[in-house]
């Protein structure tokens, strides 16, 4: 046919140019699937208004190319018109009403054939898609990626929970250690205070014993009650204004002085002089040990 319009109309219904879709038995191997279905869609692609037409591809096709192929044929825009199958329209000299009736009948028939052809093609796409070995692989990969993300999320949540548990355990351990340390320090402080208190009591006894050992500075005779009271009264005043360290220093000096009354009195005189100089005592407060 040299007329391009009539040639196109004929091509629209040329069954000899169609490639029959394969059966499931025909495409049991991937190689057969790509070859047989590829030929089908190459045949269908000749009717596309959009060119070039994507190919079915093979096992090495990218997922994006495969998706593009199926999207293209699902929304296939065909130029097939099916006029070649129209019922002949009567000549102009016949009745107008009959002519319009035939034209309307042909128009409806073409629309129906167009709709049926679209449905036919989509059915082919569905059949091909259902047996496409790549789709199964893509879905497995998508599922694996989804599971991988889920596993990674679960692993991250587990690590976070373990880290929180570790931090909590560490905080509790430190808290317990601090409590134990505070308890030990408290006990040690208590013992130190008790020891210091005991040492003070002992040192005070030593100080009072030192004046007793020198007979309250009464010389060779027996000390009178007044002598004893005056000396002990001075000792109490000195002890009352002496801290623990000063008391320990006093005891050390008294130990060096021994039972020598003169030396002991010199020690007390030095201590009382220091207290008077520091403003803790007045010289008039003392009677003997000044």
- Report residue 152's pLDDT band, with 50, 70 and 90 as the boundaries: confident
How large a percentage of the chain has pLDDT more than 70? Answer: 92
Domains in the chain, please, with CATH?
4-131 (no CATH), 201-285 (1.10.8.840)
Predicted local confidence at residue 82, as pLDDT: 79
Predicted local confidence at residue 102, as pLDDT: 82
Residues 6+ apart with CB under 8 A from 30: 59, 133
**Least confident segment among 8-17, 162-171, 177-186:** 8-17
pLDDT of residue 278 exceeding 70, the answer is yes
What is the chain's alpha carbon radius of gyration, rounded to the nearest angstrom? Answer: 59
Alpha carbons 132 and 38: distance in angstroms, whole number: 11
Predicted local confidence at residue 97, as pLDDT: 76
Provide the 3-class DSSP secondary structure of residue 48. Answer: strand
- Report residue 171's pLDDT band, with 50, 70 and 90 as the boundaries: very high
Q: 211-215 long-range CB contacts below 8 Å, 24 or more apart?
A: 211/235, 211/264, 211/268, 213/259, 213/264, 214/259, 214/260, 214/261, 214/264, 214/265, 215/261
Predicted local confidence at residue 92, as pLDDT: 64
How large a percentage of the chain has pLDDT more than 90? Answer: 67
Residue 265 tokens read as: 């009195």
Predicted local confidence at residue 3, as pLDDT: 63
pLDDT of residue 26 exceeding 60, the answer is yes
Full-prediction pTM beyond 0.75?
Answer: no
pLDDT of residue 71 exceeding 60, the answer is yes
- Strand runs labelled E in 73-178: none
Question: How confident is the prediction for the chain on average, in pLDDT?
Answer: 89
């Amino acid at each position: 046919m040299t007329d391009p319009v009539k040639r196109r109309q004929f091509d629209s219904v040329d069954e000899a140019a169609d490639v029959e879709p394969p059966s499931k038995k025909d495409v049991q191997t991937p190689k057969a699937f790509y070859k047989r279905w590829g030929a089908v869609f190459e045949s269908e692609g000749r009717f596309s208004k959009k060119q070039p037409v994507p190919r079915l591809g093979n096992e090495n096709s990218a997922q994006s190319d495969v998706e593009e192929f199926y999207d293209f044929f699902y929304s296939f825009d065909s130029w097939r018109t099916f006029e070649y199958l129209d019922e002949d329209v009567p000549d102009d000299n016949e009745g107008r009403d009959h002519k319009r009736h035939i034209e309307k009948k042909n128009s409806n028939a073409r629309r129906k054939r167009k709709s049926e052809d679209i449905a036919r093609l989509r059915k082919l796409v569905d059949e091909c898609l259902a047996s496409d070995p790549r789709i199964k692989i893509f879905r497995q990969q998508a599922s694996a990626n989804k599971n991988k993300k889920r596993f990674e999320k679960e692993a991250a949540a587990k690590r976070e929970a373990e880290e929180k548990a570790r931090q909590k355990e560490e905080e509790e351990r430190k808290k317990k250690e601090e409590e134990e340390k505070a308890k030990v320090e408290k006990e040690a402080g208590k013992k130190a205070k008790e020891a210091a208190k005991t040492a003070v009591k002992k040192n005070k006894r030593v100080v009072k014993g030192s004046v007793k050992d020198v007979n309250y500075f009464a010389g060779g005779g027996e000390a009178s009650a007044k002598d004893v009271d005056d000396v002990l009264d001075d000792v109490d005043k000195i002890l009352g204004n002496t801290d623990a360290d000063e008391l320990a220093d006093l005891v050390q000096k008294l130990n060096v002085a021994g039972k020598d009354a003169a030396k002991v009195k010199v020690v007390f005189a030095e201590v009382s002089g220091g207290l008077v100089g520091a403003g803790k005592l007045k010289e008039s407060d003392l009677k003997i040990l000044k």
